[in-house]
Amino acid sequence: MATPDIPGSHPAEPHAVGLSQKLNWLRAGVLGANDGIVSTAAVAVGVASAAATVAPVLLAGAAALVGGAISMALGEYVSVASQRDSERALIAKEHGELGADPDGELAELTGLYQARGLTPETAQQVALELTRHDALRAHLSAELNIDPDDVVNPWHAALASAVAFTIGALLPMATILLLPVETRVPGTFVAVLLALALTGWLAAWIGGASRVRAVARTVIGGALALGATFLVGTLFGTTVA
């Protein structure tokens, strides 16, 4: 559905239809990439700190990549599908209420606008005009903050999460497998933290949030995860000199 121009709106403000879908993709993509980078790197670093050969690292990393991508996609699908089903149920309920008691629903809509600060006369006029234009959309927006054209898609979230996880996981895998044995663990630490800083910055830039806080969250979390798995590997395995 095309979005009409909104008089007086600012270009940077998210008035366009499809905002929920865009945020859904962004959330799933960022979470998938971060999890792919951190979880795969943590597994690979833990194994690399305990084994001098490449084969165990490759096997563990590949298992973490495949299993993690499937798990992320499944988790996103289940979560977003539940949200979609709830939204559809609320839309159907509101549609039924409008058919059963249109006068009562108009009075309810008027009351909602009065509660937001409009005078009774203005609130009634607004409710009448919106009802004539699209009663269902007016009630969904005022009562439930739902746009019927912007219901989230679980398949989109699942695909975005799986693809992002796989792309994120490939970085630590390539780094730890291609670097020499004596530098693969510190090199992977550096590459992973830089990648996490980039994903945090991009997510904040797209969403208009604080870049510094986003980068700090991702980098500190990733460093803690890598440090913990490296410690486990050195304590229970054979440390590479």
Distance CA 236, CA 153 (A): 44
Q: Over pLDDT 90: what percentage of the chain?
A: 30
Residue 57 confidence (pLDDT):
86
Length of the chain measured in residues:
241
Burial of 99 (0-12, 13-18, 19+ CB in 10 A): exposed
Say if CB 131 and CB 75 are below 8 A apart. no
Predicted confidence (pLDDT) per residue in 101-160, tens digit: 999 999 999 999 999 999 999 999 999 999 999 999 999 888 888 887 777 788 888 888
Least confident of 15-19, 76-80, 111-115: 15-19
**C-alpha closest to that of 27 among 153, 203, 193, 221:** 203
* CA dihedral sign of residues 182, 222, 161, 68: positive
- The SS3 assignment for 7 reads coil
Predicted confidence (pLDDT) per residue in 191-233, tens digit: 899 988 988 887 787 777 788 988 898 889 888 988 888 888 7
